[in-house]
Amino acid sequence: MNQIEIITLKEHDSWPKTEKEKETAAQLSSGFTNSDDKLINFLKDKEILTIRKLEKAGLEIETKQFIGSVRFSNFHLKILPKFFSDNDKNWKNLISCIHFAYDYDTDHFIEYEKIPFEDENENYDLVDFIVWGLVNECNNLIKRGLLKSYVEHEENMPYLKGKMVIKHQIVNDMHKKLQFYCEYDELEFDNIENRILLDTLILCEKIVKSNKLKGKLFILIQQFHLLIQKIPISISDIQRVMNSYNMQNEHYKNAHSLCKLIKENVSISDIYEGNTSFAIPFFLNMNKIFQDFVTNLLKKYYLDLSVDDQKKEVAWEYSGKPIFMIPDLLLKDEKQEIKKIIDVKYKEELLASDLYQIGFYISEYSVKYQFGKEAFAILPKFDETTTDDTYTSTKSQIKIHVRHIQILDIIEQINNDDPKISEWLSSILKENAIFSA
């Protein structure tokens, strides 16, 4: 094969299906290298997807709940969401969905039309679209002026600056060193906020496919390198900064959100051993994206009650040890009393185990709080024929109302600043409302 084969699948899908695809699979498997085998094992160990090499010839691919891409020596595998169709409008809305899930300000959603992909005849990965957002944010920060912070320095100097550190100056005097040991603060660009950006930009240059995007990243890296040290940054470093924004650095929030998104979902391992001919796998867990998307949707647009997410409470005790329950969302009134329980599931329909789990939440919380024996389950709408319904237990009459939502349609409403989102959310979270969007 002269050209790299591109295989595009949806989540929870399999390949090959047709005879032609099986012939392609046989050709691809015959060209596998040791690096490909290591990559296959890595993806399996991380439970991202499964690729099985058949005994005679060929291979089988099974995807899970992850979307993203990975490149092997002779083919490129892309995995898209179930609800996705490959067109410009949906690409824009998908990226907006991911940004919204990661609490990226809706005022700063990237306009897809501004991303210059139409100039290149290439197939793009999900990560390229996300990194364009980071490039835009970094350019905006540079135009505004990068943040300066006071950085503390301690060093020997030929003149007195700041204050003299006596204990170190005594050592200088003993060794007849004609210098002052000074401690002073200096206003610099080399701070944690900017180090996060530089470290992530360097990572992005290794994982994107677009040559134009690589060029933009190279320019940004050179600009940052002149002012900022390259220091490895962890996800916990980013989270620590994001938890403590103030008036001076809060305009970095969107850029840092994208840095966190990229670093959390890049799969780095020792399989590469310095070989840069393979792109680093980049995958997003749609279960988590949908969970965070619904959480932020309710927090920002549901006005009837306050939203508390992932609240841990003791449900069981065993040998003196607590066992916790963690419902997805609890809706509370002004007295902080629970009025509604919401569980978020990224699946086509609820399983029996889901019903038992939600039913247990209802049973436990209804003892302490006075609300009807009901809860809501929010699921994505994959099919236009899907309808909302209610599960009712035969003895206790516990009710679980299932609500399906159209992710891309909601994102389009958010992008258009539609004022009816709050009204719609209020309507679907009522017991007798059978309404889908």
Task: Considering only the C-alpha atoms of the chain, give the largest distance between any 2 of them, rounded to a whole number of Å.
Answer: 91
Instruction: Give the span between the Cα atoms of 383 and 70, in whole angstroms.
Output: 28
* Residue recorded with tokens 């992005």: 204
Q: Is pLDDT of 277 > 70? A: no
Q: How confident is the model at residue 223 (pLDDT cuts 50, 70, 90)?
A: very high
> What distances in angstroms separate CA 237 from CA 102, 107, 255, 268, 300, one per listed residue?
17, 26, 14, 18, 26
Q: How large a percentage of the chain has pLDDT more than 70?
A: 89
> What distances in angstroms separate CA 137 from CA 88, 223, 225, 254, one per listed residue?
21, 14, 17, 7
Strands of 75-80's sheet in order across: 5-10, 75-80, 66-71, 282-285
The lowest-confidence range among 86-90, 285-289, 321-325, 332-336 is 86-90
CB 100: neighbour CB atoms within 10 A? 24
Instruction: Give the span between the Cα atoms of 282 and 73, in whole angstroms.
Output: 16
Q: What was the pLDDT predicted at 275?
A: 47
Give me the phi and psi of 317, to 5 degrees please: -130, 135
Residue range 400-414: average pLDDT? 90
Q: What was the pLDDT predicted at 138?
A: 93
Q: What was the pLDDT predicted at 356?
A: 94
Residue range 260-288: average pLDDT? 71
Residue range 106-118: average pLDDT? 54
> What distances in angstroms separate CA 435 from CA 46, 113, 360, 401, one per listed residue?
38, 33, 26, 11
Q: SS3 for 140?
A: helix
Output b/e per residue, 318-347; b: 16+ Cβ within 10 A.
eeeeeeeeebbbbbbeeeeebbbbbbbbbe
Strands of 163-164's sheet in order across: 149-157, 180-188, 163-164
Handedness of CA 84, 89, 93, 95 (dihedral sign): positive
16 prior amide bond cis, ω within 30:
yes
- What are the residue ranges of helices labelled H in 102-185? 126-144, 166-174
Closest to 139 in 3D by CA, of 221, 196, 229: 221
Q: SS3 for 282?
A: strand
Residue 108 near residue 254 (C-beta atoms within 8 A):
yes
Residue range 219-246: average pLDDT? 92
Handedness of CA 280, 281, 284, 287 (dihedral sign): negative
Q: Which two tokens stand for residue 87?
A: 């067109």
- Please tell me the pTM assigned to this model: 0.81
Q: How confident is the model at residue 1 (pLDDT cuts 50, 70, 90)?
A: very low
Q: What was the pLDDT predicted at 154?
A: 87
pLDDT digits 0-9 by tens, 62-102? 999 999 888 888 888 989 898 876 555 667 778 888 888 88
Q: What was the pLDDT predicted at 371?
A: 74
pLDDT digits 0-9 by tens, 6-40? 898 999 999 999 999 999 998 888 888 888 888 89
Q: Which two tokens stand for residue 6?
A: 């591109």
Q: What was the pLDDT predicted at 125?
A: 79
pLDDT digits 0-9 by tens, 335-390? 888 889 999 999 999 999 999 999 999 998 888 777 778 999 999 998 878 889 99
Domain positions in the chain are: 5-80, 88-147+191-266, 149-188, 302-428
Q: SS3 for 334?
A: coil
Intra-chain end-to-end CA distance of the chain, in Å: 45
Closest to 159 in 3D by CA, of 144, 190, 181: 181
* Residue recorded with tokens 């995007």: 213
Q: Is pLDDT of 276 > 50? A: no
Q: Is pLDDT of 123 > 80? A: no
Q: How confident is the model at residue 105 (pLDDT cuts 50, 70, 90)?
A: low
Please give the CATH topology (third level) of the domain spanning 302-428.
Answer: Trna Endonuclease; Chain: A, domain 1 (3.40.1350)
Q: What was the pLDDT predicted at 55?
A: 77
Q: For residues 57 and 269, which has the higher predicted lDDT (pLDDT)?
A: 57
